[in-house]
Amino acid sequence: MYKSLLKDASLYSISSLIARGFSLITVPIYTRLLKPADYGALDLLSYLVILVPLIMGAALDQALARFYNDAADDNERKRISSSILLYTVFIFVPFIPLALPLSSELAHGWLKGQVKEATILLVFLLIWINAIYTITNNQLIYSFKSRQFAICSIGNTVFSVSTGFLLVAKFRLGVHGILLGQLLGISVFTLLSLYFGRINYSLHFDWKTLRRMMAFSLPLVPGTLAFYLMQYVDRYAINQMSGLDEVGLYGIGARVASLINLFLMGFQGAWNPVIMSTYREPGAPKKFRVVFNYYLFVVCAILVGLSLFGKEILLVLTTRTFSQGFIVIPLLLLAAILSSIGQYFTYGILIAKKSGLRLYLNLMALVINAVLVYVLIPRFGMMGAALATVLAFVFLTVVGLALSQRYYHVPYRWRKIITAAVVAVMVSNLVFMVDFELTVRDELAKIGLILVVLLFFARLLDIKLDPRLLGRARASLATQVK
C-alpha cells in the first residue's frame, strides 16, 4: 500500500510541477510578444475559465471524490461517474443562446475592446471543455490510474503551451492564439482521459444518484468559490479602476510570487496524510510544533529571497516595462504563505469535523477583501490591491488558527513565531525603502542580508542547519514505509 501511495503521489507532484514549470516558461516569451494590456486581458480571461466551472459544476468533482470509492459495486460507481459527466456536458447547453450577446458586452464593455468578440466566444467554449476535462481527469485519480492521469495532465500542458506559442509567435494571433492553443490541447486530452476511463461511463443518467451527489456538493460551492474569489477579485477591481495595463503588471508580479507554490504543493501532499494518521498519538502536538517551525523557516526564507530579487527575476524573464510588477511580489508572497498556513495548519477544524466554519471564514474574508480593494486601489493602485489581499488572508489565518487551537491544541511558541514573521515582512519590503541598484555591490549586499536573516531565523526557531539531518530524515521515512 505504501509503495503504491508513494508512486501515485510522485506522479501527481511531477504533473503539477511540469504544469507550473511550463507556465513559467511562457513568461519571457509572451511578455515580449504581448503588451501589458494584452497580458492583463489574458489574466482576467484565464481566471474566468477557472471560476465559472466552480459555479456551474456544482463542486461535483468533490462529490465524485467522496462517493466513488465508497460505492457498493461497479454498477453504482458507473452510475455516479456517468451522471456527473452527463450533467457537466449538458449544464452549459441552455446558455448557448446567450453566448453572442454576452461576448459583445464582455469584449467591448468589460475589456474595453482589447480583445474581439471571437476571443470571448473561444473562452466560453474553453470554459465548457475545461469543466468536462476536470471531471474526466479527476476520474482517473479516483480510479487509481495515476499514470494515465499524468499522461493527460502533462500532455495537455505541453501541447497547449507549444501550440499557443506557435500561434502567437508565427501567426501573430496574440491573446486569441494563446487561448486557442489551450482549447486545442484540452480538447485532445479530454478525449484521451475519456478513453482511459471509458470503463466508468455509460449513456445512462440517474437523477436520483445526481441528487444525492448534489446534496453533498452544493453546500461546498460557496466556501470554495469564496476562497478562489479572494485570490482573483483584486484583478477585476484593478481592471475596473486602473485599467488592463496595471492588471498585466500585477499579474506578472503574481506569477513570480506563485513560485512559492512549487514548495507548498509538495508539502501539502506529504503533510495532510501525516496529520490524520498521527494526531491521536501522545507526542503529536509537539511534533506538529516542530514541523511548523521548519515550515515557517522555509517560507520566510522564500519570502525574503524572492522579494529582494524580484526585480532581477522579472528583468531576466520579461521586459523592462513588465519588470515594474516587482513591487507587488512581497505582498503577494505573504498572501500565499498566509493562505497556506490557513489551509495546512488549521487541522483542529478538520479533526473536529467543523467544515462549516471554513465556509463562514472564507465568506467573511472575501467580504473584507472586496471592501478593502475598493478602498485601497484608488489611493495606492495595484499596491492597494495586494495589501487588501494580504489583510484578508491575515484575518483568515489568524481566526482559523485560533479556532483550530480550540479543537486541537498545539503548543506553539507564539512570541518566536510572531518575531520571525515581523522580521521577514520588514526585510522583504526593503525593496520599497532602499533604492537597490543593479550593481555587484548591491547584489552582494542583498545576498549577505539574506544569509544573516536565515541565521537569525534558524536561531530563533530552533532550526538545526545540519546537512546530515536530510540523511536521517530519509532513513526515518524508509523505516516508516516498511
Question: How confident is the model over 215-263, as pLDDT tens digits?
Answer: 888 877 888 888 888 878 899 899 989 899 999 999 999 988 888 876 7
Q: What is the pLDDT of residue 269?
A: 53
- Whether 88 has a pLDDT exceeding 90, the answer reads yes
Residue 235: exposure state from Cβ atoms within 10 A (0-12, 13-18, ≥19):
buried
Is 482's pLDDT higher than 50?
Answer: no
199 has a pLDDT exceeding 90:
yes
Find, among 434, 423, 339, 330, the residue nearest to 382 by Cα. Answer: 330
- So what's the pLDDT on residue 383? 95
Query: Residue 365: in which H helix or E strand, if any?
Result: helix 355-380
The confidence score (pLDDT) of residue 268 equals: 64
Q: Are residues 367 and 340 in the same domain?
A: yes
Average pLDDT of span 76-83: 93
Of 64-78, 170-184, 373-387, give the lowest mean pLDDT range. Answer: 64-78
Residues found in the chain: 482
For cell 495589501, the residue is: 387
Please provide the average confidence, as pLDDT, over all residues in the chain: 87
Q: Do 61 and 186 have their domain in common? A: yes
Residue 189 has pLDDT above 90, yes or no: yes
110: left (phi over 0), alpha (psi -120 to 50) or beta: alpha
Same domain, 187 and 232: no
pLDDT over 90 at 367, yes or no = yes
What's the confidence (pLDDT) of residue 421? 95
**Residue 390 and residue 417 in one domain:** yes
Q: Which residues of 386-414 are buried (b: 16+ CB within 10 A; e: fewer)?
A: bbbbbbbbbbbbebbbebbeebbebebee
What is the mean predicted confidence (pLDDT) over 431-445? 89
242: its cell numbers: 486602473
* Structural domain ending residue among the three candidates 186, 217, 248: 217
Do both 10 and 144 map to the same domain? yes
Beta-carbon contacts of 379 under 8 Å, excluding residues fewer than 6 positions away, are none
Residue 6 has pLDDT above 50, yes or no: no
Query: What is the average pLDDT across 55-67?
Result: 85
Q: What is the mean pLDDT of residues 377-389?
A: 94
Q: Assess whether 173 and 287 both reside in one domain.
A: no
Query: 386 is written with which cell numbers?
Result: 495586494
Residues of the chain with pLDDT > 90: what percent? 57
Domain boundary residue, one of 217, 248, 281? 217
> What is the C-alpha end-to-end distance of the chain, expressed in Å?
10
pLDDT digits (tens, 9 = 90+) for 307-349: 999 999 999 888 888 888 999 999 999 999 999 898 889 888 8
Question: Could you give the CA distance from residue 177 to residue 323 in angstroms, rounded to a whole number?
Answer: 24
Q: pTM of the entire structure? A: 0.79
**Same domain for 213 and 231?**
no
Average pLDDT estimate for 441-470? 86
Q: How many domains does the chain have?
A: 2
Looking at the fold, whether 334 and 418 belong to one and the same domain comes out as yes
147 and 229 belong to one structural domain = no
Buried b or exposed e, range 83-117, using 16+ CB within 10 angstroms: bbbbbbeebbeeeeeebeebbeebbeebbeebbbb
Percentage of residues in the chain having pLDDT higher than 70:
89
Residues 6+ apart with CB under 8 A from 357: 349, 403
Per the structure, the complete domain to which residue 114 belongs is given by 2-217
Last residue within a domain, chosen from 190, 217, 244 = 217
In sequence order, the 6+-apart residues with CB closer than 8 A to the CB of 19 are 153, 154, 157
CB 351 within 8 A of CB 279: yes
Residues 110 and 143 in one domain: yes
Model confidence at 476, pLDDT cuts 50, 70, 90, reads very low
pLDDT mean over 45-63? 89
Q: Are residues 367 and 438 in the same domain?
A: yes
Maximum separation of any 2 CA atoms in the chain, in Å: 69
Residue 390 has pLDDT above 80, yes or no: yes
If asked whether residues 321 and 225 sit together in one domain, one would say: yes
For the chain, how big is the Rg over CA atoms in Å?
Answer: 23
